[in-house]
Amino acid sequence: MRFLRPELVWWLVPALVVLVFARWRLRRQYAASTTVHWLNNSSFRASILRRLPTAVLFAALVLTSLALMDPVVRNPESEVQSRNRDIVLVLDMSDSMQTPIESVEGAPVEQTAVTRLDAVKAAMKAFVLLRHDDRLALVIFSDHAYVVCPLTFDHEYLLYYIDMVTPHSIVGEGRTAIGDALATSNLLLTRQSSGTDQHNQLVVLFTDGESNEGRDPVPVLTALHAQDIRVHLVAIELDPNPNNLRVQRVLDATTRYGGRIFNANTAQGINDASTTVDAIEKGLVTMKAYALDRPVYEWFALPALICLVGAIALCAIPFFIDQT
């Protein structure tokens, strides 16, 4: 325990002087007697208990002084584990994302109005709600890539912008520039992260097609890997034909550099993929937390109040009333 205002102890001295002076002035007058020497006998002396009200009042004064000096105690340090990642969500906005998708396996497509874009947006929102301690960003792309939301802890702000993304957000485009989208994500992570916190960085790419516009995605994936940025790919009804070399190169590079491929052919599959990404990318960071000083003035203020009330109560008992 320590006191934040120890200098206030000096007000105790004049307070004691005032208390002694008041006690002396309030003493009753008494008449002298020639037989006073008879009272020198110990049997005629007042009991020491008659000083109890004064002693209790003095204790109240001391305790009040200690309470006014702001006593505090420091809580012990503790270890706190928290998820702390920088994650960029990359959303494909090509024309094919307007294709209807099954809600669950076996459900007729004709019975649902949910498009691939709608399903991905719902999965993204569920993913954002799971990442309480992370900075998240949103990048959309078609022929070119655009930053809709930079890295932020304000997840409500991000959810608002995910809702705002519509097929009309990008006009006059319709192709799939995966390489440009990954490069934009890399630039975003680099610019918004300092040298001390360039760790636990992640890109989650939602796309339904092969890269047919812009730069080659494979060199960009290599550059991301060199900066220790992992990329997970959620492939939405992507053609599994192994002869499609353009797609296979991207898939192979993603897995080679530590990323995961999630094949999602339904709206439920897209949501399951985002949930799996959340489960494998917890990213626990251990930090030491130091609690602030906790005030404990009540440890002294409450006893001081009890002592003051006790002194007043004792003075009402005839035994403690000074008759001299």
| Domain that residue 248 falls in | 80-287
Considering the domain architecture, whether residues 214 and 110 belong to the same structural domain is answered as: yes
* 46-77: pLDDT as tens digits: 566 777 877 888 888 888 888 888 888 876 65
Task: Quickly list H helices, the chain.
Answer: 12-25, 52-68, 116-130, 155-164, 178-192, 217-226, 245-256, 267-280, 298-315
276 and 316 inside one domain: no
Q: According to the model, what pLDDT value does residue 286 have?
A: 46
Average pLDDT over residues 98-119: 69
Q: Are residues 260 and 137 in the same domain?
A: yes
CA distances in angstroms from 204 to 124, 136, 145, 256, 305, listed in the order given: 10, 11, 15, 16, 62
Looking at the DSSP bridge assignments, the partners of residue 231 are 203
The whole-number average pLDDT for the span 253-266 is 83
The answer to whether the CB of 57 falls within 8 A of the CB of 307 is yes
Q: Give the list of residues 6+ apart from residue 324 with CB closer than 8 angstroms, or none.
A: 27, 28, 30, 46
Question: Can you give the pLDDT at residue 26?
Answer: 64
Residue 291: DSSP 8-state? P
> Other CB atoms closer than 10 Å to residue 246's CB: what's the count?
14
Burial of residue 32 (number of CB atoms within 10 Å: 0-12, 13-18, 19+):
exposed
Please check the confidence at residue 139 and state whether its pLDDT lies above 90. yes
Q: Do 261 and 277 lie in a common domain?
A: yes
> In this predicted model, which residue has the larger pLDDT, 254 or 34?
254
How far is it, in rounded angstroms, from Cα 56 to Cα 129?
59
What are the pLDDT digits (tens) for 294-323? Answer: 788 788 888 888 888 888 888 777 776 655
User: Which residue bears the tokens 């006998």?
Assistant: 41
Q: Over the chain, what is the mean pLDDT?
A: 77
Q: Are residues 215 and 277 in the same domain?
A: yes
- The average pLDDT across 235-240 equals 74
Number of domains, the chain: 2
| Six-digit token string for 76 | 């012990």
* 3-12: average pLDDT: 72
**Percent of the chain whose predicted confidence (pLDDT) is above 70:** 75
CATH code, 113: 3.40.50.410
Q: Are 148 and 212 found together in one domain?
A: yes
For the segment 240-254, the average pLDDT, to the nearest whole number, is 77
Residue 285 has pLDDT above 50, yes or no: no
Angle at 92 between CA 87 and CA 98, to 5 degrees: 140
Backbone angles phi, psi at 136, to 5 degrees: -120, 150
**What local confidence, expressed as pLDDT, does residue 103 receive?**
66
For residues 312 and 282, membership in a common domain is answered with no
pLDDT digits (tens, 9 = 90+) for 169-220: 888 888 888 999 999 999 988 887 765 555 678 888 988 877 888 888 889 9
The answer on 259 and 231 residing in a single domain is yes
Specify the length of the chain in residues.
324
Q: Are residues 27 and 126 in the same domain?
A: no
Question: Is the confidence at residue 83, as pLDDT, over 70?
Answer: no
Same domain, 64 and 153: no
How confident is the model at residue 40, as a pLDDT? 59
Strand (E) or helix (H) holding 262: strand 261-264
Residues 142 and 68 in one domain: no
Give CA–CA dist 229/198, Å, rounded. 9
Select the more confidently predicted residue: 241 or 310: 310
User: Are 296 and 260 found together in one domain?
Assistant: no
